[in-house]
A = this chain, B = another copy of it.
Amino acid sequence: MGEQLVEISRLVTEAMEKANTAFTTADTELAQDVIASDARIDFLQNHLDERAIEILALQGPVASDLRVIVGSLRMSASLERMGDLARHIAQLTRMRYPELVIPEHLRPTFAQFAEHDIAISRSLTELLDTRNLDLARDINRHNEQVNELHAGIFKAIASPDFNAAPSTAVDVALASRYFERFADHGISVSRKVTYLVTGEWTTNGNVG
């Protein structure tokens, strides 16, 4: 099942990379591609569930393996949600086409959001593959940056200088939330891997 998680995580990374390119260039075809590809992630998650049931039924695993299997089910659910969030960004892109979703003065902030989210997703794929816990620490650092960016966006919207339409404010807030939730689910997976490797539950990072 580890390999399947790595595969799902790789697809999630690809979805976020494409969603962000679509988002920043108002590329509606690429957005459509992300939306269509999300079904593949959902399919793989269901497949992993079925596989877990098979393993449990056929192999009668011992307690330590059970923890891995139950952990895998939780991780696959978080990864599936990350795929959904990339899809939401793509859907926002399509909804505002041919306009860009984000007003010009906030685009640098969103470029940073995307950079951190993609870094988290890439590190997560590698963490699931190698179990090198240095990657979990990198992921925590990126997540802290994402939380700061998210707080900054809400301050920017509340500021009297923010003079875009209310519906633009909503788009900005939702997009910010999607990027923040993506990182948060990444943390959730990263903590589960850490727990399975060390047996200790870390409390830094939010619960997803």
Contacts and interface: CB of A to CB of B under 8 A. Distances in A.
A63 to B, nearest CB: 5
A57 B66 contact: yes
A78 to B, nearest CB: 9
A53 B66 contact: yes
A100 interface: no
Q: Which of A53, A67, A74 is the most central at the interface, judged by chain B CB atoms within 10 Å of its CB?
A: A53
Interface in A49-85: 49, 52-53, 56-57, 60-63, 66-67, 70, 73-74, 77
Interface in A15-65: 42, 49, 52-53, 56-57, 60-63
Contacts of A56: 56, 61, 66
Nearest to A56: B66
Contact of A173 (B49, B77, B174): B174
A70 B42 contact: no
A123 to B, nearest CB: 24
